[in-house]
């Protein structure tokens, strides 16, 4: 009986470890060669005060993309509320919005990705519309050196209840590449690291495409700026059927701005400056300087 219970306990522990290791292997593979990898990002163009941006090979475009087989004036991108209008300009100019290839001239979409041959565009709203350009032949792929992680440790995996913020307080979260971003505090998670009680706030960004269950914990800890990325790290709570959450810091990750200057990343609020070391999840692999 004791042996059976031990076997069941080991099997239960193996599943989270398998998930952690698979996630890490998949992330490394993605970063190394995927056409939308952080290392594939080659430019960021903000709409600013412009109502529209044009894309193509001609030098008079707002976004000039050479050598990819694009037309001189390939696309026009227009912000329309919380969506984008994408219009093919020159004859025979084609594009793919999201996962669907379309032959119509204009598409209104909240899709995050527009594919243009070897290039792709990420339409980023966030209250400050911009376009991130990805190149499947980005020279930054040569900089790939893997990703460093702390050794998986299930003592940093917590099953927790969300303590709701009764006011669902609206607040501004600082960002790395724009003005503050609107968010709401949905509540707090309480747990213990070693013998130290810890409380972290969970936030939902109030931006186009953000759903009611899209909550994140943006945090800093005693490893920040030393073993882990200087801005902080993120972890996504996973809601369970019983209403509790899995808060697994083995799954925490550095923001995109740890790899590229072309991203706009939330900066953890002061209330999530933890007074403990979270030696779990992603370390600083020093892609950004």
Whether residue 255 is contained in a domain is answered as yes
Do 265 and 162 reside in the same domain of the chain?
yes
- Structure tokens of 199? 């409380």
Q: Round the average pLDDT of the chain to a whole number and report it.
A: 90
Q: What is the pTM of this model?
A: 0.88
The pLDDT assigned to 127 comes to 72
Alpha-carbon distances, residue 73 vs 90, 94, 103, 227 (angstroms): 6, 11, 17, 46
Do 132 and 117 reside in the same domain of the chain?
yes
Do 258 and 242 reside in the same domain of the chain?
yes
pLDDT per position as a tens digit, 22-67 = 999 999 999 999 999 999 999 999 999 899 999 999 999 999 999 9
pLDDT of 7 > 50? The answer is: no
Q: CB–CB of 242/11 below 8 Å?
A: no
Do 222 and 252 reside in the same domain of the chain?
yes
Do 161 and 241 reside in the same domain of the chain?
yes
Distance in angstroms (rounded) separating the CA atoms of residues 64 and 79: 19
- Structure tokens of 224? 């920040």
Q: Which of 283, 260, 63, 278 is nearest to 176 (CA)?
A: 260
The H or E element containing residue 21 is helix 2-33
pLDDT of 243 > 90? The answer is: yes
Looking at the structure of the chain, the number of domains it has is: 2
Do 123 and 233 reside in the same domain of the chain?
no
Residue 193, domain extent: 147-272
């Amino acid at each position: 009986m004791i042996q059976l219970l031990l076997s069941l306990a080991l099997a239960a522990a193996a599943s989270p470890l398998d998930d952690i290791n698979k996630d890490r292997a998949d992330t490394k593979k993605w970063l190394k060669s995927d056409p939308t990898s952080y290392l594939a990002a080659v430019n960021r163009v903000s709409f600013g005060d412009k109502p529209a941006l044009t894309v193509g090979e001609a030098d008079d475009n707002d976004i000039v993309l050479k050598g990819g087989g694009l037309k001189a004036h390939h696309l026009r991108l227009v912000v329309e509320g919380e969506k984008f209008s994408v219009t093919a300009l020159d004859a025979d100019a084609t594009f793919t919005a999201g996962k669907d290839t379309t032959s119509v001239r204009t598409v209104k979409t909240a899709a995050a990705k527009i594919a243009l041959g070897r290039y792709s565009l990420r339409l980023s709203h966030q209250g400050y519309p911009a376009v991130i350009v990805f190149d499947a032949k980005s020279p930054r792929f040569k900089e790939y050196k893997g990703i460093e992680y702390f050794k998986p440790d299930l003592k940093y995996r917590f099953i927790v209840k969300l303590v709701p913020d009764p006011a669902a307080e609206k607040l501004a979260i600082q960002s790395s590449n724009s003005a503050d971003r609107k968010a709401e505090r949905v509540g707090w998670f309480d747990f213990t690291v070693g013998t130290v009680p810890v409380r972290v706030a969970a936030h939902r960004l109030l931006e186009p495409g953000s759903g009611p269950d899209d909550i994140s914990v943006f945090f800093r800890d005693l490893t920040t700026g030393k073993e882990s990325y200087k801005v902080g790290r993120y972890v996504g709570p996973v809601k369970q059927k019983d209403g509790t959450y899995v808060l697994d810091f083995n799954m925490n990750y550095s923001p995109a701005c740890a790899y590229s200057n072309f991203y706009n990343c939330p900066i953890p609020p002061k209330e999530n400056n933890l007074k403990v070391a979270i030696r779990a999840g992603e370390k600083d692999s020093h892609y950004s300087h």
